[in-house]
Chains A and B, each alone.
Chain A
Amino acid sequence: MRAGLLGSVIMNFDFSDDQKLLKEQVRKFLADKCPTKVVRRVLDGNETHADDVWKGLVDLGVPGIGIPEEYGGSGLSPLEVCVVAEEIGRAAAPVPFDTSVVLATEALKLAGSDAQKKKWLPELASGKAIGTLAIAEGPQPPKPRNIRTMFGGGRLNGKKVPVTDGEAATFAIALANTGGAGDRALSLVLVDLKQSAVAKKRVDTIDPTRKHAELTFKDASAELLGGEGEGWRLLERLYDAAAVYFAFAQVGGAEAAMWMARDYALQRQAFGRAIGSYQAIKHKLADCYVKLELARSNAYYGAMMLTEGGADLAVAAAAARIAATEAYDFAAKENIQTHGGIGFTWEADTQFHYRRSRLMALSIGGPMAWKDKLVTRLEQKNAA
Chain B
Amino acid sequence: MDFNDTAEEAAFRKEVRTWLDANATRKSDDKQSFRARNDDPELLKKAKEWQDKKAKAGYARITWPQEFGGRGASPILQVIYQQEEANFLVPLGFFDIGLGMCIPTMMAYAKPEQLARYVKPALHGQEVWCQLFSEPAAGSDVAGIRTKAERDGDDWVINGQKVWTSGAHYCDYGIVITRTDPNVPKHAGLTMFFLDMKTPGVEVRPIKQMSGGANFNEVFFTDVRIPDSQRLGKVGEGWKAALTTLMNERLAVGLPSGGLDIDELMELARDTDLEDGPAIRNQQVRGKIADWYVQQQGLKLTRYRTLTALSKGQTPGPESSIIKIVAAPKMQDMGAFAMELMGHAGIMKEDVPHAAGFQAQWIGGAGFRIAGGTDEILRNIVAERVLGLPADIRVDKDVAFNQLGKK
Contacts and interface: CB of A to CB of B under 8 A. Distances in A.
Q: Does A associate with B in a complex?
A: yes
Interface of A: 1-15, 79, 258, 262, 265-266, 273-274, 276-277, 279, 281-283, 285-287, 289-290, 293-298, 300-301, 303-304, 307, 318-319, 322-323, 326, 368, 370-372, 374-375, 378-379, 382
Contacts of B382: 286, 289-290
Contact of A319 (B283, B293, B303, B384): B293
B120 to A, nearest CB: 28
B86 interface: yes
B9 interface: yes
A369 B58 CA distance: 52
Contacts of B272: none
A282 B384 contact: yes
A5 B254 CA distance: 10
Interface string B90-108: 0000000000000000000
A264 to B, nearest CB: 11
Contacts of A282: 379-380, 383-384, 387, 389
- Which 9 pairs show the lowest CB-CB distances between chains A and B? A294-B298, A371-B290, A282-B383, A297-B301, A286-B379, A277-B390, A286-B382, A11-B3, A13-B304
Contacts of B286: 371-372, 375
A289 B386 contact: yes
Contact of A374 (B29, B76, B82, B293): B293
B4 to A, nearest CB: 6
A279 B262 CA distance: 32
Contacts of A258: 387
B275 interface: no
B149 to A, nearest CB: 33
Contacts of B378: 286
B294 interface: yes
Interface stretch (B193-201, B235-243, B319-327): B319-327
Contacts of A322: 290-291, 294
B83 A8 contact: yes
Contacts of B384: 282
A285 B303 contact: no
Nearest to B326: A290
The residue in A287, A307, A370 that gathers the most chain B C-beta atoms within 10 A of its C-beta is A287
Contact of B5 (A3, A10, A262, A287): A10
B302 interface: yes
A12 B307 CA distance: 8
Contacts of B224: none
A289 B386 CA distance: 9
B9 A10 contact: yes
A11 B383 contact: no
B287 interface: yes
Contact of B87 (A8, A294, A368): A8
Interface of B: 1-6, 9, 29-30, 76, 79-80, 82-84, 86-87, 254-255, 257-258, 262-263, 266, 280, 283, 286-287, 289-291, 293-295, 297-305, 307-312, 319, 322, 325-326, 376, 378-380, 382-384, 386-393
B379 A368 contact: no
A12 B311 contact: yes
A13 B262 CA distance: 23
Contact of B307 (A1, A10, A265): A10
A332 B381 CA distance: 22
A286 B254 CA distance: 21
B302 A11 contact: no
Given A4-B257, A289-B382, A298 B308 contact: no
Residue from B1, B5, B83, B312 whose CB has the most chain A CB atoms within 10 Å: B1
Task: Indicate the member of A276, A289, A303 with the most B CB atoms within 10 Å.
Answer: A289
Contacts of B380: 279, 282-283, 286
A382 B289 contact: no
Nearest to B298: A294
A285 B387 CA distance: 8
B289 A378 contact: yes
Contacts of A1: 29-30
B273 to A, nearest CB: 17
B290 A14 contact: no
Contacts of B263: 2, 382
Contacts of A266: 388-390
A6 B86 contact: yes
B4 A298 contact: no
A279 B376 CA distance: 9
Contact of B322 (A2, A281, A289): A289
A213 B382 CA distance: 43
Contacts of B2: 11-12, 304
Given A4-B86, A10-B79, A382-B266, A276 B390 contact: yes
Nearest to A272: B393
Given A13-B3, A273-B390, 4 more contacts: A5-B300, A10-B5, A11-B311, A12-B4
Contacts of B305: 13-14, 297, 300
A3 B30 CA distance: 8
A215 to B, nearest CB: 32
Contacts of B5: 9-11
Given A11-B311, A282-B379, A375 B319 contact: no
B383 A294 contact: no
Contacts of B9: 10
A323 B308 contact: no
Nearest to B27: A1
Contacts of A368: 283, 287
B216 to A, nearest CB: 23
A368 B282 CA distance: 12
Contacts of A277: 389-393
A262 B319 CA distance: 17
A108 B64 CA distance: 55
A165 B15 CA distance: 58
B59 to A, nearest CB: 16
B287 A6 contact: no
A302 to B, nearest CB: 10
Contact of A10 (B287, B308, B326): B308
Given A298-B298, A371-B290, A14 B266 contact: no
Contact of A79 (B1, B262, B266): B1
A266 B388 CA distance: 9
Given A11-B307, A304-B1, A378-B289, A262 B389 contact: yes
A1 B29 CA distance: 7
Contact of B304 (A7, A79, A287): A7
B383 A378 contact: no
A371 B388 contact: no
Contacts of A304: 1-2
A374 B290 contact: yes
A294 B258 contact: no
B294 A294 contact: yes
Nearest to A6: B83
A14 B9 CA distance: 17
B385 to A, nearest CB: 10
Nearest to B391: A277
